[in-house]
Amino acid sequence: MTQKPQYGMWSNIRFMVKNARKYAPSVLWLCIAFAVLSVSIQLAQLLVAPMALRKVETSAPLGELLGIIALFALALLVLNALMGYLDENIMYGRIEVRSGIIKDINDKACTTSYPHTHSPQALKLQEEAMNACNSNNAPAEHIWHTLTGILLNLAGLLIYLALLSDLNPLLLAVALATTAAGFFTGKRINEWEYRHREEKAQYEKELHYIRRKTESVQLAKDIRIFGLAPWLNDIYGSVRHLAEAFVDRRERVYTLTCLVDAVLQLARNGIAYAYLIHITLTRGLAASEFLLYFTAFSGFSQWVTGLLSEFSQLHKESLELSRIQEYLNLPEPFRFSGGEPIPQGPYEIRLEGVTFQYPGTDRKILRDMNLTIHPGEKLAIVGLNGAGKTTLVKLLCGFYDPDEGRVLLNGRDIREFNRREYYALFSAVFQDMSLLDITVAETVAQAVEGIDIPKVEHCLRRAGLTEKIASLPQGLSTHVGRKVYLDGVEFSGGETQRLMLARALYQDGGVLVLDEPTAALDPLAESDIYNKYNEMTQGKTSVFISHRLASTRFCDRILFLKDGGIAEEGTHQQLLDADGEYARLFRVQARYYQEGGEFHGAEC
């Protein structure tokens, strides 16, 4: 991550502690308990041999020797049993905290302002935030292991310092110097993979992409028809060779790390041995004391290394945890709380001098557009690809705000309203259809509980799906799709569009938006939908986008868009009489509905 994080280490620790208190308060206490038990076990293991040896040196009775050994054995047994229990159960709370953060990220993704769903920066931030939570070893869970390690190593370091306080301070200085030198040298080398993580991630991403495509059901026919298997295998093999070369480079670097660490450890222990032998010969140091001091000296270096390693790990985890906070706190351009109450219908929507271009592009899709959609009006928007039809609908629905001008609802700028309440005004069927693997009834109602079944049936009947639903094995309880449920049913493209139309009708918003609602329907089914159009839009303001101009004759007014503006406007017959671009495009389309594919007039 080359971008400087917005949140520092302590801010990220506070963030995680806050989430622990919210989702699993026991995590905090278990961290402390785990550290205390770990230090206690280390201390007991350190003292058992010197104390037993001390009893031998002082010719203590056999009972005392066996008693001290039994006491330490019992203590270690109890401590290890408690440690085993904690180690087995400590992860559940940590998983709850991580799962809670994932839920917060998903909530943000589902509710964030629509422009963020297409912003490369916001999408990258979302991906990095989710990567920080995607496994047990991800920072959102592993940080508790790191914080426990810091507590453990800090406590151990202080205890061992107290035990070694009688020794020459220079010896401790040597231990600190060699340990720090080994750590920072190793850290620099060990971070080689971290510095090259983008290269590693790219190989993994490419390998995963190729595997996913070769296993794809959608591509199965293409792979066989076009004989793509050898080509895909060659690509996979070349990427795999690059990934293997990366691993070879990494292992050579890690071998150097082990060599440096071994040399420094040999020097540190050699100096300790020499010093302790010296004071043994000059001061008559007992064997038990020699053993205690040397073991403590070796352990002291381990505590120092452990503490430095855990803080280094915490720093790396903090960089990734910062991305979670940055995404969750991503500024929203829309008002999602407070705001003016939505007025009562009927609704008039007006565009005043609206100019818009998508972020990161130079082309203006709409230019200084003025438009009023009257209450209860059936408005059609037509034009060639790229004319701005769908963009206009996105502005009307409040998915984007114009760069210049205003979108008004009953005379009020929609930026004054709570945007979620504004969304509720619309019932819509968009080009990009979205289906979840849930039941038919849940799909139409977009709810799990409190579904109005008679209303669902009514909407399905209006959308022309009654016979289809009646033929399903479980009727309205049949699952849609087979990605989750084996008994699910796959709907055809036209049936899916009708299902989306039923969903829009169930929502019963004040404004109905249909973006190419008949694109996947055959001509007869399309005609059936058109015949029901007046019934569907009764008493509602409706906006209808279509490439098939024959459908527009059902509308009160038609807008023909071109070059970011309204080129022509009127009823179907008025536009035909004007003999402009709308009429010429209509005649071109009408020709393909004539017998034999020949053009026989203006009517179809």
Strand-by-strand arrangement of the 541-545 sheet: 426-429, 511-515, 541-545, 378-383, 557-562, 565-570
pLDDT at 521: 64
CATH topology for 349-431+513-523+547-596 is: Rossmann fold (3.40.50)
Summary mean pLDDT of the chain: 84
pLDDT at 597: 45
Three-state SS sequence of 517-553: CCCCCCHHHHHHHHHCHHHHCCCCEEEEECCCHHHHH
- Crossing angle of helices 62-111 and 120-131, rounded to 10°: 160
Confidence bin at 598 (pLDDT 50/70/90): very low
pLDDT at 540: 81
Average pLDDT, stretch 354-381?
92
Distance CA 366, CA 501 (A): 28
Residue for token pair 């994932």: 102
Q: For 9-328, CATH number?
A: 1.20.1560.10
Provide CB contacts within 8 A for 561, sequence distance 6+: 381, 382, 383, 387, 388, 389, 392, 567
Distance CA 504, CA 563 (A): 30
Distance CA 569, CA 193 (A): 62
340 has pLDDT over 90: no
Tokens of 536: 């569907």
Q: How far is CA 92 from CA 25, 27, 194, 327, in A?
A: 12, 9, 28, 25
Q: Among 97-106, 350-359, 423-432, 571-580, which stretch is predicted with the lowest mean pLDDT?
A: 423-432
Q: Among 40-44, 163-167, 375-379, 403-407, which stretch is predicted with the lowest mean pLDDT?
A: 163-167
Say if CB 604 and CB 594 are below 8 A apart. Answer: yes
Above pLDDT 70, what percent of the chain?
92
CA nearest to 513, candidates 542, 556, 548: 542
Distance CA 324, CA 316 (A): 14
Say if CB 473 and CB 494 are below 8 A apart. Answer: no
Tokens of 81: 């049993």
- Crossing angle of helices 62-111 and 139-163, rounded to 10°: 150
Q: Describe the chain by its helix, strand, coil percentages, rounded to 5.
A: 65, 10, 25
Q: What are the extents of the domains in the chain? A: 9-328, 349-431+513-523+547-596
β partners of residue 381:
545, 559
Whole-prediction pTM value?
0.75
Distance CA 207, CA 413 (A): 49
Residue type, 380: A
Confidence bin at 514 (pLDDT 50/70/90): confident
2 has pLDDT over 60: no
Q: How far is CA 95 from CA 48, 83, 555, in A?
A: 37, 19, 55
More confident residue, 160 or 412: 412
Burial (0-12, 13-18, 19+ Cβ within 10 Å), 349: buried
Distance CA 218, CA 140 (A): 35
The sign of the CA dihedral 134, 140, 146, 152 is: negative
pLDDT in tens, 287-336: 777 777 777 777 777 787 788 788 888 888 998 999 999 999 999 999 98
604 has pLDDT over 50: no
pLDDT in tens, 228-250: 888 888 988 998 998 888 888 88
pLDDT in tens, 259-290: 777 777 777 777 777 777 777 777 777 777 77
The strand pair at 426-429 and 511-515 is best described as: parallel
Distance CA 309, CA 146 (A): 9
